[in-house]
Amino acid sequence: MAVTDKMWDALTTVIKMNDKVERMAGAMKTQQEKIENLTERVIRLETALEIALSRPVTARPSVNQLELKD
């Protein structure tokens, strides 16, 4: 019986480990999607920054140049 119990314990351990591995794979997939989303956002921010920096700097209108609307 001792051998049967050890075999059963080993089998249940393997099943539990398989479940943990599957859950970790799902969590890693979710994290990878989040990382890819953040990477896309950073690329968009970098592009916007490069566009903004490539535009020539124009002088801001002074207070005297602003038109007041009534």
pLDDT digits (tens, 9 = 90+) for 38-70: 999 999 999 999 999 998 877 665 655 556 565
Q: What angle do CA 34, 37, 38 make, to 5 degrees?
A: 90
- Give the residue carrying structure tokens 């979710």: 30
Four-residue CA torsion sign, 39, 41, 47, 50? negative
Structure tokens at 53: 């920096």
Token pair listed for 14 = 């393997």
The single-letter code of the amino acid at 62 is S
Helices (H), 1-70: 2-54
Task: Judge if pTM exceeds 0.85.
Answer: no
* Residue 6 pLDDT class (50, 70, 90 cuts): very high
7 pLDDT above the threshold of 70: yes
Q: Give the residue extent of every domain in the chain.
A: 23-50
